[in-house]
Structure 1
Amino acid sequence: MSKKVHEFNDILRKVRKELFGKGPEKIHTVFVENMAVSTLYGNLTPTEKFIAKSPGGAEVVHSARTKMIQEVYATNMPEGLEELVGAKLVHLFSDIKVEENMAVSVFIFDKPIV
């Protein structure tokens, strides 16, 4: 794993830990042209797992997680993220599969990541 990927993953883990009280257990990120594609495993807190088991609970967890992540990056860019990749974040697409405790985030920047 390159140093840049490692540092990028550390930023993602820190943001999610601060936001949800738990960071992902494993992150796999690849840089492709102007995108960073991150797959995050082991995201859910014990409370979220409990809520997800109730009727409609998985949908509540899914909605809260995806909206909170997108809001954080739109309103409060994580420190060092854009500097690390040398580009400005333009779009973030994020989703979580609650049942598998797996999330994917696609970060699109204004120029290629080098």
Structure 2
Amino acid sequence: MKKETGFNELVRKVRKELFGKGPERIHTSFVDNLAISILYGNLTQTEKFFAQEPTGRQMVKDARTQMIQKVYPTQFQPEIEQYMENKLLHLFTDIDVEQDVAVSVFIFQNKINP
């Protein structure tokens, strides 16, 4: 199994545990010490309902990005570091709620060996 495939499965599992639904599709590229993941089809039916209005879109965006940045380091960092055999230094994430596309950039201490 390619390292990217296993990484995608781990990201999907984490998102499913956090939100009750994982992304439908994930594409990850490793560049130096970065893992850049583009996630498609993230939103739950409830989030899609809220996102019909501008205030709801902002609420969904804020809740998802804050939750991911708060929960990953405390609950999932050890699992990610073990799989990657690399220390996770930072995680940046954002989502376009209208397009239902998210991006996460994982910054590791050392260059990623595929």
TM-score scaled by structure 2?
A: 0.94
Deviates more, 1:62-71 or 1:50-59: 50-59
2:8 maps to amino acid: N
Deviates more, 1:75-84 or 1:59-68: 75-84
Q: Separation in 2 of the partners of 1:81 and 1:61?
A: 25
Structure 1: gaps (5+ residues)? none
Aligned pair count? Answer: 113
Deviation at 1:80, TM superposition (A): 2.9
2:51 paired residue number:
52
Structure 2: gaps (5+ residues)? none
What do you get for the CA RMSD once the two structures are aligned? 1.2
Q: Is the 8 A contact 2:89 2:107 kept in 1?
A: yes
The within-5 A match list for 1:57-72 is 57-72=56-71
Percent identity between matched residues is: 58
Q: Separation in 2 of the partners of 1:14 and 1:55?
A: 29
Moved over 4 A (4+): none
| Residues 6-59 of structure 1: per-residue CA shift (max 9 Å, x gap) | 110001000111110100000000000000000000000000000011240000
Q: Separation in 1 of the partners of 2:67 and 2:111?
A: 26
